Amino acid sequence: MKETFINLIKDVDLTEPIFIEALPGIGHVGKLVAEHMIHELEAEKFAELYSPSFPPQVFVDEDGIIEPMKNEFHYLKSAGEDKRDYIILVGNTQGLSPEGQYDVCGAIIDFVEKYGVKEMFTLGGLGTGQNVEKPKVFGAATTKKRAEMLKDHGVTLRSADGGIIGASGLLLGLGVYRGIEGACLMGETPGYFIDADASKAVLSLLIDILKIDIDIAKLEERAEETRKMISKAQQMEQEMAERMHVAPGEEDLRYIG
Amino acid sequence: MKETFINLIKDVDLTEPIFIEALPGIGHVGKLVAEHMIHELEAEKFAELYSPSFPPQVFVDEDGIIEPMKNEFHYLKSAGEDKRDYIILVGNTQGLSPEGQYDVCGAIIDFVEKYGVKEMFTLGGLGTGQNVEKPKVFGAATTKKRAEMLKDHGVTLRSADGGIIGASGLLLGLGVYRGIEGACLMGETPGYFIDADASKAVLSLLIDILKIDIDIAKLEERAEETRKMISKAQQMEQEMAERMHVAPGEEDLRYIG
Amino acid sequence: MKETFINLIKDVDLTEPIFIEALPGIGHVGKLVAEHMIHELEAEKFAELYSPSFPPQVFVDEDGIIEPMKNEFHYLKSAGEDKRDYIILVGNTQGLSPEGQYDVCGAIIDFVEKYGVKEMFTLGGLGTGQNVEKPKVFGAATTKKRAEMLKDHGVTLRSADGGIIGASGLLLGLGVYRGIEGACLMGETPGYFIDADASKAVLSLLIDILKIDIDIAKLEERAEETRKMISKAQQMEQEMAERMHVAPGEEDLRYIG
Amino acid sequence: MKETFINLIKDVDLTEPIFIEALPGIGHVGKLVAEHMIHELEAEKFAELYSPSFPPQVFVDEDGIIEPMKNEFHYLKSAGEDKRDYIILVGNTQGLSPEGQYDVCGAIIDFVEKYGVKEMFTLGGLGTGQNVEKPKVFGAATTKKRAEMLKDHGVTLRSADGGIIGASGLLLGLGVYRGIEGACLMGETPGYFIDADASKAVLSLLIDILKIDIDIAKLEERAEETRKMISKAQQMEQEMAERMHVAPGEEDLRYIG
């Protein structure tokens, strides 16, 4: 296997859909949000991405069933108050090496661009390594106007203290010279596993920005479920990823998404 | 050398052969099983795989003869009670880097697929780091039905505590979206070298599942032989691989295959 | 994204321009010089380079605005006493892996060669790890004649104690077999951040060699500005790069450019 | 620069030349032998190899002159008693990454194969980490017959205690399935720099095997010269390579070539 490829499961017709990325990262924050959206809004999987840039392994679930490494595209028609279409990306891994990240994120951007994506949100957690009373949402955007919009919604704009490493950053960077605007939303989290509180904070904001209607309360249940379901291997994987990608900043903010 | 390539030694005609993989891994468990099968059932080598993804080195045997890094395909016609054909893969190395694993395993799958493979078993050891009284066989499968079958044969289905790293996992993962079903069988082993007991456990199971007729007793001899034959370099190689790939899980189960 | 690419912003016509490279390195020495030249001489950006060999991330500025990783080409017509044209390269990153450096530097050389570049200067800092009273400028050249010229201008020719790692070295190396002559100028610096003194030393020399007219005094202001502007992430990035690339020599001279 | 390439300096016509490889390795043992042969027998450079798999840097000599990373092919017509032709490869670096080694060694084999090479010797040092009274020469070969020949010449055939890592091993391995026979000769050395004694031992043997006529005495002078000439950077490079590639065996034999 030499090339990243996308297996199209269903032909769909979307009009300037909003693209939401939530690949695995700190505290499963983004992933939990996206999985909750997919479930509650009944988004449907229409494509899977496989890549030689993923870790060379498989996961095994509780019943001994093998799960290959993959990213999965879901779509949603006419969601929210303004009846927009959506593409939501989740998965059990990100590209492993730096070049692998470019390879996979490039393939993702190429794919969603074909569906007319002009706007994206990338979701993640921002690990502080400390207990968090009431999680803030940190954010950054590709344009001044969009950054202002985030601020108006209560997002703390990340200032000069850091960058955004991994898919959540890179997808936005690649979007810049494709004419795709975007923003990254990061829920504040200690960085330990399956942080439903940080996810709720991000989801609330997203509901607010996108004017979609989702039951937030059920997210806690989903978090519990996920805690049980994800294999120890996935947890180890994530811990490893965090160790690799994270360098402590002055305020000890950590982010990978 | 920029590309993995396969040197076809003999043209063979096989009908939906079962593919068995046993590249070097923990305790030489899988390799010993496969080499015993090859020897006892008189499987014949028909192809060799070379790859720039292998370690950049050669092994030197006791007589000062150089052995290049390679994987070797053997075939077997009409073995077992149900007269199935087999392809058995052994070798002195696996792909070195993550991308290298995808490269090599991709080439392997492409190759065996051409012979009509629809079913595979990947063999290995699962290192516990502790003494093992009577080695269990752990397993995982790509389908529920096949997992049930393993369970019926006494296999302990691996639960949420881990993934399968390396060729034994990746080949099954790649098989999933090629329509090749499969299972991984891992003999419980302390993880030290050349564990004939773990190999016997795996082989017994395989005999049971595949209904083939092999003298298990002789496996002990082969283990002794292998202990003498494999170079210190190969042992070092393996130790290194283990250190690289293994992260301790909760129950301290370790696997690479 | 699988390939490095250059986005041409403006078509320009240049005659045997001198190429000046100042990608991020120790003490921001070269970058500060180049940015000062670009600003004072009103060089105009005409192309941007993006690469999958860059780190898989983005920077975020004080206002929460996302900045993709990139290298930027500026041009200057008829500068200096002898009315030469110039191409000046700055950026927020270098290629990350060894192969990535070759990939990016190869693309850079290919690009500037098309504009008729026959001569280049690569700028950087040479970290001593110690306080520097009056920074010397160290240098090396691709030809004896050019090395003599540097010496005549007061440059300390680097002797057998080291090599030049990174873009500043590699671009000169790649130039050798393209018939592009060149020299590397490195300002002596403790290696801490934004060393305006080292930059002044390099700039003075460059003014002297190229017979260009620039106000050196203002460079101190620019250093101060840069100190404020560059994100902590960029600083971390640089520190990381230094740790990766630097091995202490006998006289404890360190260089990356 | 994306591809390894070879710059042909001179068209030469050779008949089944013997290929001798001596890229940098432990104790400069092989390199010193090859450079002595090139000088004494007046071999002429006819091709240079450049590669993106080399380290991304340049060396700087005592006079501040930049030296790109490269491998250099020399030829020799009708040398030795049996009037054979030779191709001798030296250089200031090897491929850096595992894949880089395959890339470069593959290009080397492709190149020499075109000149009809059917036989090769790879030269290096075998570091013991201890003082060596009278250096032995260790060796390995691709065929039994050739191994016997080495033994007859007093070579200690390396037994099961190790492999051969790097170009000296890999070239022989690649040769195996191209029908190029070969042997590796490794002079016993503590592993410190510029070991003329180990080089003398290897050269003596080579003179004996190839029936060539060279003044061994002068090799000591050359060693002294080399000690002065090679840059500290090259020494550091080598030390780094040793640290990366060497794992201690039972008898504490170390080899990279």
**C-alpha torsion angle, residues B1, B4, B10, B11 (rounded to 10):** -130
pLDDT in tens, D166-183: 999 999 999 998 999 999
In angstroms, the CA B126 to CA B32 distance is: 14
H or E element that contains A39: helix A29-40
Three-class secondary structure of residue C150 per DSSP: helix
Do residues B125 and B195 touch, judged by C-beta distance below 8 A?
yes
Give CA separation, C202 vs A216, C28, C75, D65, in Å: 59, 12, 20, 19
pLDDT in tens, B198-237: 999 999 999 999 999 999 988 888 777 777 666 565 665 5
Interface of B to D at Cβ within 8 Å reads 1-2, 7, 48, 50, 52-66, 68-69, 96-97, 100, 229-234, 236-237, 240
Phi/psi at B137 (5° precision): -115, 125
Which chain D residue has the Cα nearest residue B68?
D173
Residue D57: both structure tokens together: 């840097």
In angstroms, the CA C96 to CA A99 distance is: 9
In angstroms, the CA A19 to CA A71 distance is: 14
Q: Give the pLDDT band (50/70/90) at residue A192.
A: low
Mean pLDDT along residues B97-120: 97
Which chain C residue has the Cα nearest residue D99?
C99
Statement: residue A254 has pLDDT above 50: no
For chain D, the average pLDDT equals 87
pLDDT in tens, D193-243: 788 899 999 999 999 999 999 999 888 887 777 776 666 656 655 555 554
Based on DSSP, count helices (H) and strands (E) in chain A, helices before strands.
Answer: 7, 13
- Residue C224 belongs to domain spanning: 5-256
Do residues A2 and B100 touch, judged by C-beta distance below 8 A?
no
pLDDT at B210: 94
pLDDT in tens, D105-151: 999 999 999 999 999 999 999 988 788 889 999 999 999 999 999 99
Statement: residue B106 has pLDDT above 90: yes
Question: Which of these, A14, A18, A28, lies nearest to A222 by C-alpha position?
Answer: A28
Residue D32: CA count within 13 A, CB half-sphere = 35
pLDDT at B232: 61
pLDDT in tens, D72-118: 999 999 888 889 999 999 999 999 999 999 999 999 999 999 999 99
Instruction: Pick from C3, C23, C99 the residue to mutate for testing the D interface (most D CBs within 10 Å).
Output: C99
Axis-axis angle for helices A196-210, A218-229 (nearest 10): 130
Three-class secondary structure of residue A243 per DSSP: helix
Statement: residue A227 has pLDDT above 80: no
Q: Which residues of A touch B166 (CB under 8 A)?
A: 56-57
pLDDT in tens, A147-181: 999 999 999 998 545 789 999 999 999 999 899 99
- Overall number of domains in chain D: 1
Interface of A to B at Cβ within 8 Å reads 1-2, 7, 48, 50, 52-66, 68-69, 96-97, 100, 229-234, 236-237, 240
Contact B160 A50 (CB under 8 A): no
Query: So what's the ipTM on this one?
Result: 0.88
Q: Which are the contacts of A148, defined by CB distance < 8 A and separation ≥ 6?
A: none
Residue found under tokens 């921001």: C28
Query: Is the torsion defined by CA of B106, B112, B114, B117 positive or negative?
Result: negative
Do residues A110 and A15 touch, judged by C-beta distance below 8 A?
no
Contact D97 C98 (CB under 8 A): yes
Residue B13: both structure tokens together: 């005609």
Neighbours of chain A (3+ CB pairs under 8 A): B, C
Q: Which amino acid is at A76?
A: L
Residue A104: CA count within 13 A, CB half-sphere = 32
D124: Cα separation from own chain's centroid: 6
Give CA separation, B189 vs B91, B256, D98, in Å: 21, 12, 30
Q: Which are the contacts of B219, defined by CB distance < 8 A and separation ≥ 6?
A: B32, B33, B36, B196, B199, B200, B203
CATH number at residue A128: 3.40.50.10900
Statement: residue A56 has pLDDT above 90: yes
In angstroms, the CA B102 to CA B166 distance is: 9
Listed range (A15-24, B34-43, D25-34, D220-229) with the worst mean pLDDT: D220-229
Q: What is the largest CA-CA distance in chain A?
A: 49
For chain A, the average pLDDT equals 87
Statement: residue C229 has pLDDT above 70: no
For chain B, the average pLDDT equals 87
Question: Which of these, A183, A115, A89, A112, lies nearest to A143 by C-alpha position?
Answer: A183
Residue A219: both structure tokens together: 């997210």
Q: What predicted TM-score, i.e. pTM, was given to this entire model? A: 0.90
H or E element that contains C105: helix C98-114
pLDDT in tens, C17-70: 999 999 998 888 999 999 999 999 999 999 999 999 999 999 998 889 999 999
Q: Which H, E and C letters describe chain D, residue by residue?
A: CCCCEEEECCCCCCCCCEEEECCCCHHHHHHHHHHHHHHHCCCEEEEEEECCCCCCEEEECCCCEEEECCEEEEEEEEECCCCEEEEEEEECCCCCCHHHHHHHHHHHHHHHHHCCCCEEEEEEEEECCCCCCCCCEEEEECCHHHHHHHHHCCCEECCCCCEEECHHHHHHHHHHCCCCEEEEEEEEECCCCCCHHHHHHHHHHHHHHHCCCCCCCHHHHHHHHHHHHCCHHHHHHHHHHHHHHCCCCCCCCEEEC
Mean pLDDT along residues A188-204: 87
Is D134 or A120 the better-scoring residue by pLDDT?
Answer: A120
Other CB atoms within 10 Å distance of the CB of residue B144:
11
Closest Cα in chain A, distance from residue C16 (Å): 30
Phi/psi at C240 (5° precision): -60, -45
In angstroms, the CA B86 to CA B70 distance is: 20
pLDDT in tens, B36-90: 999 999 999 999 999 999 999 999 988 899 999 999 999 999 888 888 999 999 9
In angstroms, the CA B233 to CA B210 distance is: 34
Cross-strand pairs, D188:
D126
Which chain C residue has the Cα nearest residue A248?
C236
pLDDT in tens, C133-172: 899 999 999 999 999 999 999 999 985 457 899 999 999 9
Statement: residue A34 has pLDDT above 60: yes
Statement: residue D250 has pLDDT above 60: no
In angstroms, the CA D64 to CA C183 distance is: 10
Closest Cα in chain A, distance from residue C243 (Å): 13
H or E element that contains C200: helix C196-210
Do residues B249 and B165 touch, judged by C-beta distance below 8 A?
no
Neighbours of chain D (3+ CB pairs under 8 A): B, C
Which chain B residue has the Cα nearest residue A230?
B160
Residue A203: both structure tokens together: 């989801």
Instruction: Pick from C53, C65, C66 the residue to mutate for testing the A interface (most A CBs within 10 Å).
Output: C66
CB-neighbour burial class of residue C117 (10 A; exposed 0-12, middle 13-18, buried 19+): buried
Is D238 or C195 the better-scoring residue by pLDDT?
Answer: C195
Query: Is the torsion defined by CA of D214, D217, D223, D224 positive or negative?
Result: negative
In angstroms, the CA B71 to CA B172 distance is: 17
Which chain A residue has the Cα nearest residue C55?
A98
In angstroms, the CA A88 to CA A113 distance is: 13
pLDDT at A159: 55
pLDDT in tens, B127-170: 887 888 899 999 999 999 999 999 999 999 985 457 899 999 99
Q: Give the pLDDT band (50/70/90) at residue B238.
A: low
Is D161 or A73 the better-scoring residue by pLDDT?
Answer: A73
Residue D173: both structure tokens together: 């391995």
**C-alpha torsion angle, residues A16, A22, A23, A28 (rounded to 10):** -170
Which chain C residue has the Cα nearest residue D51?
C102
Of A101, A159, A173, the CB nearest to C64: A159
Mean pLDDT along residues D185-197: 85
Do residues D190 and D129 touch, judged by C-beta distance below 8 A?
yes
pLDDT at C81: 83
In angstroms, the CA B203 to CA D117 distance is: 46
SS percent in chain B: helix, strand, coil, step 5: 35, 30, 35
pLDDT at B256: 44
Q: Which amino acid is at C168?
A: S
Residue B96: both structure tokens together: 């070195």
In angstroms, the CA C243 to CA C239 distance is: 6
Interface of C to A at Cβ within 8 Å reads 1-2, 7, 48, 50, 52-66, 68-69, 96-97, 100, 229-234, 236-237, 240
Listed range (C93-102, C158-167, D21-30) with the worst mean pLDDT: C158-167
In angstroms, the CA C179 to CA D90 distance is: 23
pLDDT at B247: 32
Q: In this prediction, what percent of chain A has a pLDDT beyond 70?
A: 86
pLDDT in tens, A123-156: 999 988 788 889 999 999 999 999 999 999 999 9
Do residues B180 and B109 touch, judged by C-beta distance below 8 A?
yes
In angstroms, the CA A35 to CA A123 distance is: 12
Listed range (A25-39, D16-30, D229-243) with the worst mean pLDDT: D229-243
Neighbours of chain B (3+ CB pairs under 8 A): A, D
Mean pLDDT along residues C97-113: 97
Contact B57 D169 (CB under 8 A): yes
pLDDT at B255: 43
Give CA separation, A105 vs A54, A170, C66, in Å: 12, 7, 17
Other CB atoms within 10 Å distance of the CB of residue D255:
32
